[in-house]
Every structure is written in structure tokens, then in C-alpha cells.
Amino acid sequence: MGRVDVTLSSTERDSLGELLPSLAPWRQLAMSREITFCLGTSTAPASPMERAAAFARRTLPMLLKGAPAAQAASDDVISVVRELVDIASRDRHGPDILGRIVFDGTHITVSVGEKQGPLPQPDDEPGLYLVRRLTDDIGQYRGDNAGYVTWASVPVQPNVQ
């Protein structure tokens, strides 16, 4: 069964709180550890990258609140988002670019789709050098809309060597 996220206004929480006492834990909901975004076709070629980066810059502090090395991880994630959105926007499969940023406590997984074809080799796509340097792992899978979704896993704590 899929997860359903419900957001209640303060008025709804106040009015439903007494009617649904068995659901009292919902009163202390924490922010989901996930950010999603969608960029449509109405944007200029460089615009999707900047719009996605600006959105990530605004929302990552909430997503990473209390995480160790949050600022460094946030900077890395923004760089990865910019590059993956840039690559996807130049080779779109469909009208929208879909993105998702998920924090599991140790890694932040950035996924961006719908790319027309598989990822180019790093020698063919300079942006992948940055992505590969900042991430622990990168991959691709076929998305629900038949395009390719590219994902990359950014460590939250710096690697100790």
C-alpha cells in the first residue's frame, strides 16, 4: 500500500482534534523527509536548472534540520540537482521534468526524470564529473512515463578516509 501524506490547516487540526482522539499523534507531525518538484515546458533552456536549484535551496534547510554537516550536504545536493536537471532538460522525454529529493538520515537521494535516453558517459557530459565526485552512487531506471529517471546518492556526513 502506498503512503498518503495529509496536511491539515490549524483550523482543521483544532476542530478534528477532539473528534479523532485516537489520531492524536498526527498533531505532532514532522516534515516528511522528501521534496518533490515538477518543471514544465514553459521555461527557457537554462531556467529549469535555476528554478530547481532555487527550490532546493529554499527547502533543504527544513529537510536537513538537525542533520550533521547539513550545510555542506545542502551545497552538494544543490550542485547535483542543477546538473541532473540540466542534463534532463536538454534531452527531455516528455513535457515535464520531475524531481525528488529524499533524506534517509545518512544519504540524500536526488532523482530527476524524464530523460529521453540513458545517461551519457562522463567524457561526453562534463556535468557528470561533478555529480560523480559529489555522490556515493549514481544510476538510472525507466520511469513510469517511459523516460529515464536518473538518481544520485549524496552522503550527508563527509567520507572519512
18 pLDDT exceeds 70? no
* 120 CB-side CA count, 13 A: 15
Q: What is the pTM of this model?
A: 0.74
Q: Which of 27-41, 61-75, 90-104, 138-152 has the lowest mean pLDDT?
A: 27-41
pLDDT confidence of residue 115? 83
In this prediction, residue 43 has a pLDDT band, given cuts at 50, 70 and 90, of low
CB burial class (10 A; 0-12, 13-18, 19+) of residue 22? exposed
In this prediction, residue 78 has a pLDDT band, given cuts at 50, 70 and 90, of very high
Nearest CA among 138, 64, 135 for reference residue 105: 64
* 29 CB-side CA count, 13 A: 13
Mean pLDDT of the chain: 77
Is residue 148 within 8 A of residue 118, CB to CB? The reply is yes
Q: Which of 33-47, 58-72, 143-157 has the lowest mean pLDDT?
A: 33-47
